[in-house]
């Protein structure tokens, strides 16, 4: 519905629309996010788990008509069509997730682990974005960014315990959640962009949205 209203506004996931034009440079949907960096038994980064909590206005729109038995509770079976539509739509946007290793964007695999719940009057979508090929963080820096490049959807980490580690992270490594850019840093970035020509692109084939996204990194000491 996030995706479909972007299409209704340009026409959210089962009634919204993920492909808003760049001119719509302010958010219409707000998401609070938590994530887990997942390590396999070999100490490689293998996936990123994401938990999104949607704003109340979007949730009300997305849930409209889904309580088919009228009991005031949204069961898994009632939420399932919305969940599958969201995941299918998000696939076209690579789940707003950019994973890099040594500066190079890493291809992601098929998202097969996902679900959605309605709890404490909040709609939450969770899913795992796997790396097609796991990476060894002792060989270089791993960086994850989750953001909508069109700014139609604001995706921001929660303040408390926004990111955790699951699995066998090497002892020489640490999780670093870099802070949200300050207003001064945002203005500095905007000023820099204003000096660039229309054909300028950020380094490493990043888009403009990446300049404002909050990075999560795995940094390891070199033996």
Write out pLDDT tens, residues 148-187.
Answer: 988 889 899 999 999 999 999 999 999 999 877 666 766 7
CA angle (108 as vertex; 216, 53 as ends), nearest 5: 55
Q: What is the pLDDT of residue 95?
A: 96
Domain ranges of the chain: 29-220
The answer to whether the predicted template modeling score (pTM) of the entire model surpasses 0.95 is no
pLDDT tens for 85-128 read 999 999 999 999 999 999 999 999 999 999 999 999 999 999 99
Q: What average pLDDT is seen over the chain?
A: 84
Phi-psi region of 161 (alpha: psi -120 to 50; beta: other; left: phi over 0): left
Residue 150's contacts (CB-CB under 8 Å, 6 or more residues apart) are 6, 19, 20, 21, 22, 24, 25, 209
pLDDT score of 215: 94
Residue 151: its pLDDT value, please? 80
């Amino acid at each position: 519905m996030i995706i479909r209203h972007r299409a209704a506004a340009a026409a959210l996931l089962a009634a919204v629309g993920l492909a808003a034009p760049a001119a719509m440079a302010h958010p219409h949907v707000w998401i609070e996010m938590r994530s887990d960096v997942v390590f396999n038994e070999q100490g490689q980064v293998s996936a990123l788990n994401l938990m999104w909590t949607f704003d109340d206005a979007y949730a009300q729109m997305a849930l409209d008509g889904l309580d088919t038995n009228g009991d005031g509770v949204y069961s898994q079976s009632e939420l399932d069509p919305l969940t599958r539509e969201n995941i299918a739509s998000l696939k076209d946007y690579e789940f707003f997730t950019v994973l890099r290793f040594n500066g190079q964007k890493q291809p992601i695999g098929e998202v097969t682990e996902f679900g959605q719940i309605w709890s404490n009057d909040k709609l939450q979508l969770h899913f795992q974005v796997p790396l097609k090929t796991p990476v060894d963080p002792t060989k270089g820096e791993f960086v994850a960014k989750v953001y909508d490049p069109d700014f139609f959807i604001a995706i921001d980490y929660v303040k408390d315990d926004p990111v955790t580690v699951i699995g066998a992270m090497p002892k020489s490594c640490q999780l670093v959640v870099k802070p949200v850019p300050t207003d001064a840093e945002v203005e500095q970035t905007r000023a820099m962009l204003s000096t660039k020509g229309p054909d300028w692109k950020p380094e490493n084939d990043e888009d403009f949205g990446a300049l404002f996204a909050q990075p999560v990194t795995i940094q390891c000491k070199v033996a």
